[in-house]
Amino acid sequence: MFDQFNAAARSVVLMFSWAPPLVVSAGVLIVAVLVALALHRLVFRGMTRLVRDRDLFWRSIVARTRGLTRLAIIMFCLSIAAGIAPLTRVETSMVRHLLLICFIFLVGWVARTAIHIWSTLYLRRFKLDAEDNLLARKHTTQLSILKRVATLLVLVLTFAAALMTFDGVRQYGVSLLASAGAAGIVVGFALQPLLRNLVAGIQLAITQPIRIDDAVIVENEWGNVEEISSTYVVVRLWDWRRMVLPLTYFIETPFQNWTRESSSLLGTVIIHVDYTAPVSAMRRKLEEIAAASALWDRRVAGLQVLELRQDTMEIRMLVSATSAGRAFDLRCEVREKLIAWLQAEYPGALPRRRTEIASLPEGAAWLPDAAPKPRATVEGN
């Protein structure tokens, strides 16, 4: 069937033998592109109708592969047209070379799309908005970093393979191997920041000192890890600012990770009260406040006298919550309600300073204010 189509197409082309071969060849290639676009439109419309009633995942796959399938059909039609068109040997070689480059980029495009589809399928099992999202954050972070590294490698290999199809570039690459030692040193120094961040990204994906949505303290700022790219990390600070840090920062610089092993945290509330404050009643009130709060995870609620100072007692209260944000809000709630309770029920328990006024010993009296002495006057004769 294909041979019959090829013979029929050649007979049609021969009908235009009176025209310049270059014009006929250009017309054949243009017709091939138009036929490919029409064919792709029909195929894509059929695929869209096929997945119309399915879930969002399948519809997104069809939409994401639209450009990829269009390029594949155009290449297929052009390869057929190149054998039909009256091209010279040089022109045929140029068209074949162009199709080879397109094929290499198509393979890279397919690999990049496959990586994206596989990562999407893999992450569908995990939900970051879950109450305990430690496992989801672990896999999301690993896959996010490895996906960027794999995409970068695919792009580099694709461009390298496309360049190697040119004889001049291939010969240059062979000649460059003779001086690979010096060239490697120069390239290594030039690409040192990029390579360091690339290696740091792989190390972060394996060891995971940070994950997506981790609560961290960096540069004396509290925030959540919002994005981990192949070269930098974006931390969303508590006031919605964004701090951008290189990947090497989290390998070489100490920082605090509040959700390294679990998203649950202990919140600390420190207050200073008078020595007459009822510690037992305060402990019961803390348990009452925690039990009435929707932020408490029903695990830890305790009160201790941490230290005795000259004028006050330092009281520490511990309450637990399922996340750093909820722990912060719970601390504020406990602090506000306990102080309000002390003001209403035990106002004398609030910090105050004492001054002792001792009475005078028997027979003593306050010294009267000294009256000013009159000036001596000198009378004249």
> Under a CB-based contact definition with an 8 Å cutoff, are residues 141 and 210 in contact?
yes
Ranges in the chain, pLDDT < 50: 173-174, 176-183, 377-381
Distance CA 87, CA 96 (A): 11
Please give the Cα distance from 212 to 241 (Å, whole number). 17
Amino acid at 194: L
Query: Which residue shows structure tokens 């879930």?
Result: 55
Closest CA to 295 of 319, 318, 315, 313: 319
Q: What tokens were used for 53?
A: 């009633």
**What was the pLDDT predicted at 33?**
84
Structure confidence by residue, pLDDT tens digits, 185-200: 555 555 566 667 677 7
Strand order in the sheet with 256-257: 242-246, 232-237, 221-228, 215-218, 256-257
List phi, psi (to 5°) of 257.
-120, 110
Query: pTM higher than 0.75 for the full model?
Result: no
Nearest to 259 by CA among 206, 334, 208, 333: 208
C-alpha separations of 89 from 59, 86, 106, 136, 364 in Å: 44, 10, 25, 58, 129
Q: Which residue, 236, 201, 205, 206, is CA-closest to 218?
A: 236
Rounded Cα distance, 200 and 194, in Å = 10
Tell me the two tokens of residue 285.
Answer: 């009130």
Report d(CA 136, CA 128) in Å as an integer. Answer: 6
First to last CA, the chain: 156
Amino acid at 333: E
Q: Are 275 and 354 in contact (CB under 8 A)?
A: no
Compute the residue count for the chain. Answer: 381
The tokens for 31 are 């017709």
User: What DSSP letter does each residue of 96-130 carry, written as one string?
Assistant: HHHHHHHHHHHHHHHHHHHHHHHHHHHHTT--TTS
What type of residue sits at position 75?
M
Please state, in angstroms and rounded to a whole number, the distance separating the CA atoms of residues 157 and 220: 41
Per-residue model confidence as pLDDT tens digits over 57-93? 677 778 778 888 888 888 888 887 777 777 777 777 8
Q: How far apart are CA 255 and CA 251, in angstroms?
A: 10
Token look-up 């974006």 returns 234
Helix (H, G, I), strand (E, B) or coil at 354: coil
How far is C-alpha 352 from the geometric centre of its chain's CA atoms?
Answer: 49
CA distances from 58 to 43, 48, 61, 211 (A): 16, 9, 5, 28
